[in-house]
């Protein structure tokens, strides 16, 4: 279909005013949802409350942004006029979204640059626009080459800001995964998947916004608007669900354990090489004894519980796993449990998968199935088929 025909179809199906009004309503509802969360949570943990305020500030800023675009008709006046408001309000909104997520990831321990990157980017973008306006001497909402150049430079600054926050989010998320994997005996990927998707979404948002604010094509604006609206709804909804779930408490429990381990390790830094070698030999024997007793077959065994049952400090178990086994705690248990599951499946083919999963500490058959696929590359049923068809069984 011809480009102009496609553009007319989208323009007729979704007018610019309808898109902007829809965005205003959506942002207002999301802001209300976040404010209700603040009211209900009262004086709970300061970090989630601060993150919620920033998230609400971001959605409120976007509501103001779309209201100005609709009431002033800036897009109809031209791209330049619209971009000036976009840069003035989209930069702080994206900053607030990014910092709200980072606050949860870092438990409020943000660096100076984490706080300053957004305000600095906004100041630079506005300063470039102000210089361009003063230099050309035209009315405020005029379109001039100088302002166009300043807007392009501002959009690049915005992209650079989001690249910085994407890097900070990624590093923090990796640290959170390491902490969880060294504490719980099960996969915890689902707990933090919304953060991973939000990081990707915020980065894509930064890439799409320049197209949205500079493009004149109605069909492209429509598609970008749908993606942006869906993503912001997902981000806010997932953020609220995360805060009302047990995930923050579980994350804090794992992080406190990691801090305790670090303190234990610091207390042992003066130990000599001979003592450390003896500790390593003792750990091997203690772990082997615990495994032979089937201590790993109970579901819900956190790392501190396992260390206490083995009879060694928590930090020693973690250090032994990392340096001797090259594994995280939950990876180590998964391999031990899978080996036992394979033994039971071979010796007791009449047993159901539910019984085997429970007997081996997986908790349910879906987790057993997932680990088989992840570690063996096949399903339990395919494994049994291979076993039955092996030469030893023929």
Q: How far apart are CA 281 and CA 303, in angstroms?
A: 20
70-77 long-range contacts (CB < 8 A, ≥24 apart) are: 70/17, 70/20, 70/21, 70/24, 74/141, 75/16, 76/16, 77/141
- pLDDT score of 205 more than 90: no
- pLDDT score of 256 more than 50: yes
Do 350 and 205 contact (CB within 8 A), yes or no?
A: no
Q: How far apart are CA 77 and CA 81, in angstroms?
A: 7
Q: How confident is the model at residue 61 (pLDDT cuts 50, 70, 90)?
A: very high
Tens of pLDDT, residues 68-87 = 878 877 665 555 556 677 78
| CB-count burial class (<10 Å; 0-12, 13-18, 19+) for 249 | exposed
- pLDDT score of 388 more than 70: no
| CB-count burial class (<10 Å; 0-12, 13-18, 19+) for 331 | middle
User: Which helix or strand (DSSP H or E) is residue 260 part of?
Assistant: helix 247-267
Tens of pLDDT, residues 292-322 = 999 999 988 999 999 999 999 999 999 999 8
For domain 3-253, which CATH number applies: 2.60.40, 1.20.1070, 3.90.220, 3.40.50?
A: 1.20.1070
182 phi/psi in degrees, rounded to 5: -95, 5
Asked which of 20-29, 39-48, 162-171, 223-232 is least confident by mean pLDDT, the reply is 39-48
CA of residue 52 relative to chain centroid, distance: 16
191: helix, strand or coil: helix
The residue extents of the domains of the chain are 3-253, 275-393
Measure the CA angle with vertex 195, ends 255 and 98; round to 5°: 100
DSSP state at residue 312: S
Instruction: Give the per-residue pLDDT at 16.
Output: 66
| CB-count burial class (<10 Å; 0-12, 13-18, 19+) for 283 | buried
Q: Read off the pLDDT of each residue in 365-379 and give the average, rounded to a whole number.
A: 87
First to last CA, the chain: 63
Query: For the chain, what is the mean pLDDT?
Result: 84
Q: Read off the pLDDT of each residue in 95-112 and give the average, rounded to a whole number.
A: 95
Instruction: Give the per-residue pLDDT at 69.
Output: 78
Q: How far apart are CA 92 and CA 103, in angstroms?
A: 16
Separation in Å, CA 79 to CA 26, 225, 292: 24, 16, 71
CB atoms within 10 A of CB 39: 8
| C-alpha torsion sign, points 278, 281, 284, 288 | negative
Q: How far apart are CA 124 and CA 158, in angstroms?
A: 10
CATH 1.10.10.60 fits 275-393, yes or no: yes
Separation in Å, CA 121 to CA 143, 151, 204, 254, 261: 23, 13, 18, 35, 39
pTM of the model: 0.85
Q: Over the range 111-142, which residues count as b (16 or more CB within 10 Å of their CB) and which as e? A: eeebeebbeebbebbbebbeebbeeeeeeebe
Report the length, in residues, of the chain. Answer: 394
- pLDDT score of 1 more than 50: no
- pLDDT score of 25 more than 90: yes
Asked which of 255-264, 277-286, 333-342 is least confident by mean pLDDT, the reply is 277-286
The contacts of residue 367 (CB under 8 Å, 6+ apart) are: 186, 187, 357
């Amino acid at each position: 279909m011809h480009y102009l025909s496609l553009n007319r179809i989208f323009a007729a199906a979704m007018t610019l005013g309808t898109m902007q009004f829809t965005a205003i309503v959506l942002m207002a509802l999301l802001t209300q949802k976040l404010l209700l969360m603040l009211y209900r949570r009262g004086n709970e943990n300061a970090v989630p409350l601060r993150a919620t305020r920033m998230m609400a500030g971001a959605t409120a800023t976007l509501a103001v942004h779309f209201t100005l675009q609709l009431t002033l008709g800036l897009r109809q006046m031209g791209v330049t006029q619209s971009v000036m408001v976009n840069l003035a309000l989209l930069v702080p909104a994206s900053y607030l979204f990014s910092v709200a997520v980072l606050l949860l990831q870092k438990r409020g321990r943000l660096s100076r640059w984490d706080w300053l990157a957004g305000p600095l980017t906004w100041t630079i973008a506005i300063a470039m626009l102000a210089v361009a306006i003063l230099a050309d001497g035209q009315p405020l909402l005029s379109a001039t080459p100088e302002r166009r150049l300043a807007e392009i430079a501002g959009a690049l600054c915005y992209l650079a800001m989001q690249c910085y926050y994407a890097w900070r989010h990624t590093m923090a998320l990796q640290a959170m995964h390491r902490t969880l994997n060294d504490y719980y005996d099960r996969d915890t990927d689902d707990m933090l998947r919304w953060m991973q998707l939000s990081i990707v979404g915020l980065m894509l948002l930064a890439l799409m916004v320049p197209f949205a604010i500079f493009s004149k094509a109605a069909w492209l604006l429509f598609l970008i608007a749908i993606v942006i609206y869906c993503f912001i709804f997902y981000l806010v909804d997932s953020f609220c669900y995360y805060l009302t779930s047990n995930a923050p408490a579980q994350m804090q429990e794992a992080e406190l354990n990691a801090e305790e381990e670090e303190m234990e390790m610091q207390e042992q830094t003066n130990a000599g090489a001979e003592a450390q070698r003896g500790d390593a030999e003792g750990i091997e024997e203690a772990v082997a004894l615990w495994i032979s007793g089937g201590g790993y077959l109970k579901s819900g065994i956190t790392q501190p519980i396992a260390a206490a049952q083995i009879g060694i400090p928590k930090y020693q178990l973690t250090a032994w796993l990392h340096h001797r086994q090259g594994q995280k705690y939950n990876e180590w248990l998964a391999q031990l449990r899978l080996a036992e599951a394979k033994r039971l499946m071979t010796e007791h083919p009449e047993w159901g998968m539910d019984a085997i999963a429970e007997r081996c500490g997986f908790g349910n058959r879906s987790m057993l199935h997932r680990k088989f696929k992840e570690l063996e590359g096949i399903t339990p049923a395919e494994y049994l088929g291979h076993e039955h068809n092996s030469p030893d069984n023929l």
